[in-house]
Amino acid sequence: MPERLLSHLPSRVTIYEVGPRDGLQNEVTPIPTDEKLTFANALADAGLTWIETTSFVNPKAVPQLADAGDVMRRLDRRPGVRYPVLVPNERGMERALETGIDAIALFAAASEAFSQANIRATIDESFDRFLPVIALAKQHDVWVRGYVSTAFHCPYSGPVDVVAAVAVAERLFEIGCGEVAIADTIGIATPTDTDAFLDAALARLPAERLALHLHDTNGLALANVMVGLDAGITIFDGSAGGLGGCPFAPGAPGNLATEALVTLLDGLGIETGVNADAVRSAAARIRQVIDNSS
Ligand code: HMG
Ligand code: MG
């Protein structure tokens, strides 16, 4: 790597794949459970070791992932691959535990308006809901990630105060999250926004346990990844094929494509263990399934 180009970049980065969960949750036409399992297997074959597989939310809120129990019961868990699932409350955790999960992701928001729209609760209420979930996670030795949604911008109330977003991340660590993902839910953060957030966050939070979860509405996600790398972030979320969006966040069309992320990191000489072409093939197949279902 040319020395001039950020010589302090990390030598290895972890990619946390969210395609089967964030990528599919917004698709309206039902995708067969078998195809979801094939997708997860193809992503594991591509070298991804973190695959957020589904979501134990209210199935009426996200019908596409109503088969979460079946998906997790039938999943062919590959050695060395973790398959976290999204959990909003104790009910979701109980459902998830019945399927033998060993990793979950909780999600809080930095904006009250988005919290209400997404989970029908204030930010404080969402933390009240997390407490029994964390207790169960400890009891069952389950790894926990936390998300800070709308860390930069809320689709309902506009720009989000950096201090408020950092405070939510801090609270997630305090209740026991092992990792916290900072989410640009509607994908409009600029590199300057990311830099300002990380500047404030890294004064209080451990860089090695922070992830960036970037939607890519304006095509700036990879530029934000560069800012993250420069600040010492080594965990980045991607969604194969750039699939994704949140049904409760208007204007969030897609996530950062995993294959583009891998291509950038390959080009920088940063190891990921992921094969970009294999991710492209997995994405092409699920895209065909989606197109054929609609
Ligand atoms: P609520 O309506 O406030 O909860 O939902 P409730 O306790 O009043 O229950 C209402 C009904 O839901 C009841 O059923 C419950 O049993 C049921 P009913 O009596 O009507 O038949 N229920 C459940 N059923 C199954 N599993 C559960 C569950 N909980 C309640 N876990 C809740 C609160 C959060 C559950 C609901 O609002 C919900 O599911 N929202 C969906 C939120 C969601 O999935 N959003 C998308 C994911 S987040 C995201 O994409 C952002 C992220 O990618 C980061 C970023 O980009 O920002 C992570
Ligand atoms: Mg998301």
39 versus 3: the higher-pLDDT residue is 39
pLDDT higher than threshold 90 for residue 5: no
Interval between CA 118 and ligand 1 midpoint (Å): 8
pLDDT higher than threshold 90 for residue 282: yes
Spatial strand order of the sheet with 85-86 comes to: 50-51, 14-17, 235-238, 210-214, 179-184, 143-149, 103-109, 85-86, 54-55
pLDDT higher than threshold 80 for residue 12: yes
Phi, psi of 224 (to 5 degrees): -70, -35
pLDDT bucket at 245, cuts 50 / 70 / 90: confident
Residue 214 CA: distances (Å) to CA of 60, 100, 111, 193, 279: 26, 29, 17, 12, 18
For a ligand 1 pocket test, name from 22, 57, 87 the mutation site with the most ligand atoms within 8 angstroms of its C-beta. Answer: 57
- Whether 123 and 158 have beta carbons less than 8 Å apart is answered as no
Nearest atom of ligand 1 to the alpha carbon of 114: 57
| Closest alpha carbon to 186 in 264, 117, 246 | 246
Interval between CA 261 and ligand 2 midpoint (Å): 16
Which alpha helices (DSSP H) does the chain contain, by range?
Answer: 24-25, 33-45, 68-74, 90-97, 112-119, 123-139, 162-175, 191-201, 221-231, 258-267, 276-293
Would you name the residues annotated as active-site residues? Answer: 246
pLDDT higher than threshold 90 for residue 3: no
pLDDT bucket at 173, cuts 50 / 70 / 90: very high
Mean pLDDT of the chain: 96
Which pLDDT does position 90 carry in this prediction? 98
| Lookup: tokens for 188 | 């409009």
Interval between CA 255 and ligand 2 midpoint (Å): 7
Q: Which of 36-45, 109-118, 132-141, 240-249 has the lowest mean pLDDT?
A: 240-249
Q: Which of 38-52, 108-122, 241-255 has the lowest mean pLDDT?
A: 241-255
pLDDT bucket at 250, cuts 50 / 70 / 90: confident
CB atoms within 10 A of CB 29: 11
Determine the length of the chain.
Answer: 294
Residues with CB under 5 A from ligand 2 (ion): 22
| Closest alpha carbon to 186 in 210, 221, 146 | 221
Nearest atom of ligand 1 to the alpha carbon of 87: 31
